[in-house]
Amino acid sequence: MSKQQPAQFTNPETPGYVGFANLPNQVHRKSVKKGFEFTLMVVGESGLGKSTLINSLFLTDLYPERIIPGAAEKIERTVQIEASTVEIEERGVKLRLTVVDTPGYGDAINCRDCFKTIISYIDEQFERYLHDESGLNRRHIIDNRVHCCFYFISPFGHGLKPLDVEFMKAIHNKVNIVPVIAKADTLSLKERERLKKRILDEIEEHGIKIYHLPDAESDEDEDFKEQTRLLKASIPFCVVGSNQLIEAKGKKVRGRLYPWGVVEVENPEHNDFLKLRTMLITHMQDLQEVTQDLHYENFRSERLKRGGRKIEDEEVNKDQILLEKEAELRRMQEMIARMQAQMQMQMQSGEGDSSGHHV
């Protein structure tokens, strides 16, 4: 009975090569197995089609049971934060997508404090990530930091509103802002171009930092370079969203049916929906890197400068100091008032004594 020969190990590489050229394949396999995480925030006034656009972008229904409040409820309504997470799988690649909606933004009569809740939420996610990163078990950190914010601008105005300017200035150092002009089918092509130019001019005038797509590398192919150029030229994106399938030219398309024709959501001649989705998907990694290397690092360094104290703690301390100062000022004023009253009484008694001597 013959012994079985042990299997011989063969060199998987071509002679003359070490094999580290396969490292990207290892990274790719590991990334696909682990899956990807992305958090997208959508901010804008009610009725601009935010939910419809998000459902159109990811071909999913994130808001199946949404109740739209009436006008009376909106008068005193405060901004809420609603985070919906969905697992999307495409060709074996998993994406854990979290969409953060902000119902109530810009609805109330007084919108002065309407973005404090949103800023607080962004900071909380940075705070949570910093805490997890500083902990003992750092292997399974869930990244809920906001990587991108679609800011919806109304197509019915003549550019940015004061609320738009104030909000974007308040968050531009915390998150990547992508301006989006909603319901673009209400504008003609000339009106779109005019509004885009006006918004870009106002963004520059007010010093608002929006997300700028990175330049294509010199070794990239010409098609990718042209795609990047077109995407850059399309900002702010004029979009139309729809979840309805309509028959146009003998094929089913997602779009909006009007008496004069069909607006196709995924037709680049009709709107920038396809460009917005391409920008988000092809630059998703860059959006995450900018969040990590710029916004999160700024937050982290600020926290370290303050010796680990939260921003809220610092604000509470400032308020406490102000209250103490005000109390001290009141005490001083009361003491001065008492001294003045005593001096007045002494003067009056002195006058009484002198009049008595004359008699």
Mean pLDDT, the chain, as a whole number?
80
Residue 177 lies inside a defined structural domain of this protein = yes
Q: Judge whether 10 lies within some domain.
A: no
pLDDT per residue as tens digits for the range 211-234: 998 887 877 888 888 888 999 988
d(CA 265, CA 244): 10
Residue 126 lies in a domain: yes
pLDDT of residue 353: 59
Size of the chain in residues: 359
Higher-confidence residue of 320 and 192: namely 192
User: Is 20 domain-assigned?
Assistant: no
Residue 91 located in a structural domain: yes
* CB-based contacts of 282, cutoff 8 Å, min separation 6: 227
Compute the average pLDDT of residues 192-218.
90
What Å distances lie between residue 147 and 36, 80, 231, 268, 292, CA to CA?
13, 19, 19, 25, 9
Confidence grade of residue 195 (pLDDT, cut at 50, 70, 90): very high
- CB-based burial, 189-209: b 16+ in 10 Å, e otherwise: eeebeebbeebeeebeeeebe
- Cis previous bond, 162, omega within 30: no
Q: Return the minimum-mean-pLDDT range out of 84-88, 237-241, 295-299.
A: 84-88
Band (pLDDT 50/70/90 cuts) for residue 179 is: very high
In a domain, 171, yes or no: yes
pLDDT at 142 (0 to 100): 81
292 lies in some domain? yes
In which band, very low, low, confident or very high, does the pLDDT at 123 lie, cut at 50, 70 and 90?
very high
Q: What is the pLDDT of residue 309?
A: 59
- CB of 185 closer than 8 Å to CB of 256: yes
Under the banding of pLDDT at 50, 70 and 90, the label for residue 355 is low
Between CA 262 and CA 255 the distance in angstroms is: 7
99-103, 190-194, 203-207: least confidently modelled range:
99-103
The mean pLDDT of 29-53, rounded to a whole number, is: 81
Q: What is the DSSP letter of 359?
A: -
For the cut 60, the answer to whether the pLDDT of residue 185 exceeds it is yes
Once rounded to an integer, what is the mean pLDDT over residues 65-75?
Answer: 56
Residue 296 has pLDDT above 70, yes or no: yes
Per the structure, how many domains does the chain have? 1
Distance, CA of 281 to CA of 272 (rounded, Å):
14
Judged against a pLDDT cut of 90, whether residue 244 lies above it is answered with no
The reported pLDDT for the residue numbered 352 is 60
Tell me what pLDDT residue 148 has: 93
Residue 33: domain span: 29-239+271-310
335, part of any domain? no
Beta strands, E only, the chain? 36-43, 82-90, 93-101, 148-153, 177-181, 237-238, 245-248, 251-258, 261-264
Lowest mean pLDDT segment, chosen from 105-114, 158-167, 242-251, 268-277 = 105-114
What pLDDT, on a 0 to 100 scale, did the predictor assign at position 151?
Answer: 93
Q: Residue 249: pLDDT band by 50, 70, 90 thresholds? A: confident
Look at residue 24 and give its three-state secondary structure: helix
Residue 3 gets which letter from DSSP? P
Average pLDDT over residues 134-152: 84
Higher per-residue pLDDT: 173 or 6: 173
Phi and psi angles of residue 340, each rounded to the nearest 5 degrees, phi first? -65, -40
Distances (CA, A) of 181 to 83, 193, 239, 263, 272: 23, 11, 6, 16, 10
Between residues 4 and 271, which one has the greater pLDDT? 271
Rounded to whole angstroms, how far apart are CA atoms 291 and 149? 11
| pLDDT at site 143 | 84
Report the CATH number at residue 38: 3.40.50.300
In whole angstroms, give the CA distance from residue 178 to residue 304.
29
Percentage of the chain beyond pLDDT 70 is 79
Higher pLDDT, 290 or 30: 290
